[in-house]
Amino acid sequence: MDGFEELGVEPSPAPSAAQIDEESRRIRRLRIVVNLSLSLIAQGDMPFSEAQQLVAAARQLAENLFPGKGDVFDLLYRPKFNRLINEIYLLQ
């Protein structure tokens, strides 16, 4: 008896190559948007409110690409954005 049967859960089927490719494309798109957003903020010529809007837009994209995973964005990317914004806008 494996761990899934002990928990009364059926193991999910392995994703197809097309599903893996699609997820890789979504991850790559999100990574590009996050890196571009970080670069734009790092230039320092953007008003604080626009920087906040850029972060919100990146999070919304993450939520659209990966529904229900906004908390993962907050865990992985929010700290990077916060550190950069604190540095650029001299926040404590």
The count of domains in the chain is 1
Q: What is the pLDDT of residue 11?
A: 75
Per DSSP, the three-state class of 31 is: helix
Per DSSP, the three-state class of 30 is: helix
In a domain, 10, yes or no: no
In a domain, 8, yes or no: no
Q: What is the pLDDT of residue 81?
A: 97
Kindly tell me the sign of the dihedral angle through the C-alpha atoms of 39, 65, 25, 12: positive
In a domain, 2, yes or no: no
In a domain, 72, yes or no: yes
Whole-number Å distance between alpha carbons of 58 and 87: 19
| Whole-structure pTM value | 0.81
Q: What is the pLDDT of residue 66?
A: 96
pLDDT per residue, tens digit, the chain (92 aa), is 455 566 677 777 898 989 999 999 999 999 999 999 999 999 999 999 999 999 999 999 999 999 999 999 999 999 999 999 999 998 75
Q: How many CB atoms lie within 10 A of CB 53?
A: 12
Domain containing 58 equals 20-88
Q: Token pair for residue 78?
A: 């929010």
